[in-house]
Amino acid sequence: WQRIDLFEFQKDVEGPVIENLSRRCGGFLRQLSLRGCQSIADGSMKTLAQLCSNVDDLNLNDCKKITDSRSSKHCPKLQRLDLASCSSVTDQSLKALADGCPSLTHINVSWCDQISENGVEALAHGCPKLRSFISKGCLQVNDKSVSCLAQFCPALEVVNLHGCLHITDEAVQQLAEHCPRLHYLCLSGCSHLTDTSLIVLAQQCHFLSTLEVAGCSQFTDAGFQALARSCRLLEKMDLEECVLITDTTLIHLAMGCPRLENLSLSHCELITDEGIRHLGTSPCAAENLTVLELDNCPLITDASLEHLISCHNLQRIELYDCQLITRAGIRRLRNHLPNIRVHAYFAPVTPPPTAGGSRQRYCRCCAIL
C-alpha cells in the first residue's frame, strides 16, 4: 500500500492499528491521512516514522493527542504536513521539522495557537523549499514571522494568515518583495492592514489569482484600483466587510480583471445597482463570473438582478438580507438563468393592525401574505 486514508474510520483507529499498518507497509507507504483520528498519540507516530521513512504526505489534522514528538527526524522525504487543530503542537515541532525535513514544501499549522515567531523562523531557515504556509487562527504569528518566511522561502506560492490579528502592512510588503510566485493570499481578519498592502501587491505580485481580505475594514477604492490595474489574473476575491469600498471598486474590477470568477461583496453596504451594472455588463462577467455574494448589501435592488442576466455562467448568488430584492426579481433572473442557485431570505415583519384589530405576517420584500 502506498496511499492510505483512514478518515472514514477515525472513531475506530487507535495506536495498534497504526503500528500494524506501519509494519505491513514499511518503505512502500507514501501518503497517509489520519485526519480526525483523535486517539492517535506520539508513540504510534514514532513507530510510523521509523518503519515508513519514505512518507512524503502526512495529514494529522485534528489529531489532538499529537505533541512535540521528534518523529520527523525519521522522515527526510516529507513534503506535505497538515497539523491543523493539533493544539498541543508548539515551536519545538517546527524546529524538529526544520532539522529533519529539508524537502518540506507544504505545511498547515492552523489553530495551533502555541506556534510563535520562534518556531516559524526556525522553519523558514530549515525548509527553504516551502511553497505553501497556512496558519489560520495563529495569533502569535506576527510581522517578524512572515518576514522570515518571505526572506528565506522565496518559492512561496500560497500564504494563508486568516485571523493573524497582529499582521501589518510591513509583513505584506515583505511577502510581495521576496515571493514573486505568490498566487494565493488570504489576509482575512487582519484588520490593521491599509491600502499600502494592496498597492505593494499590485506592484510586485502580478501572478496573484486569489485574494481573500474579508474584514480588512481599512481598505478603500484607491487600493483596489491599483490592484485591478496590475493583477489581471485575479479569479477569486473575498471582499466581505470591506466596508469603505464603493461602486468605484467594481468599475475597476470590471475593467481590469477579465478572469474574475468568484466575488464576495457581502456587508459592503455602499455598493449600489450602479456598481453591479458595471460588473454585470463587463465582458469578464459575461464569460467567467460564476459566484457572486451580496449578503447584507442594503442598497441593492431588483435592478441589479437585471444587470446580471447577461452573466451566462453565473451559478450561485447570495442575497441574504438584501431587503430591496423581491421574489419577482429573483423569478425574472431565474427565467434567464434557469440553473442558477439563489440563496435569499425574506424576513417576515408585522404590519399595522387591520381595521378589525388582527395582525397578519407578510414578507416585507414582496408583501406576500
pLDDT digits (tens, 9 = 90+) for 97-139: 999 999 999 999 999 999 999 999 999 999 999 999 999 999 9
For residue 192, count other CB atoms closer than 10 A to its CB.
15
- Which pLDDT score, from 0 to 100, does residue 78 have? 97
pLDDT digits (tens, 9 = 90+) for 293-311: 999 999 999 999 999 999 9
Cα–Cα distance measured from residue 226 to residue 202, given in angstroms and rounded to the nearest whole number: 6
pLDDT mean across residues, the chain: 93
The confidence band for 358, taking pLDDT boundaries of 50, 70 and 90, is very low
Q: Which residue has the cell 516551502?
A: 130
Is the per-residue pLDDT at 352 higher than 80? no
Is the per-residue pLDDT at 359 higher than 70? no
pLDDT digits (tens, 9 = 90+) for 193-241: 999 999 999 999 999 999 999 999 999 999 999 999 999 999 999 999 9
Cell matching residue 244:
469603505
Backbone φ and ψ for 199, nearest 5 degrees, come out as -65, -40
Cα–Cα distance measured from residue 147 to residue 143, given in angstroms and rounded to the nearest whole number: 6
The confidence band for 361, taking pLDDT boundaries of 50, 70 and 90, is very low
The confidence band for 71, taking pLDDT boundaries of 50, 70 and 90, is confident
CA 256 to each of CA 238, 253, 279: distance values in angstroms, whole numbers, following the listed order = 16, 5, 11
Range 306-319 average pLDDT: 96
Cell matching residue 254:
470590471
| Residue 276 host element (H or E) | helix 273-280
Q: What are the helix (H) ranges across 101-212?
A: 117-126, 143-152, 169-178, 195-204
Range 176-193 average pLDDT: 97
Classify the phi-psi angles of 329: left when phi > 0, otherwise alpha if psi is within -120 to 50, otherwise beta.
alpha
Residue type present at position 249: T
pLDDT digits (tens, 9 = 90+) for 75-91: 899 999 999 999 999 99
- Which pLDDT score, from 0 to 100, does residue 353 have? 54
- Which pLDDT score, from 0 to 100, does residue 348 have? 58
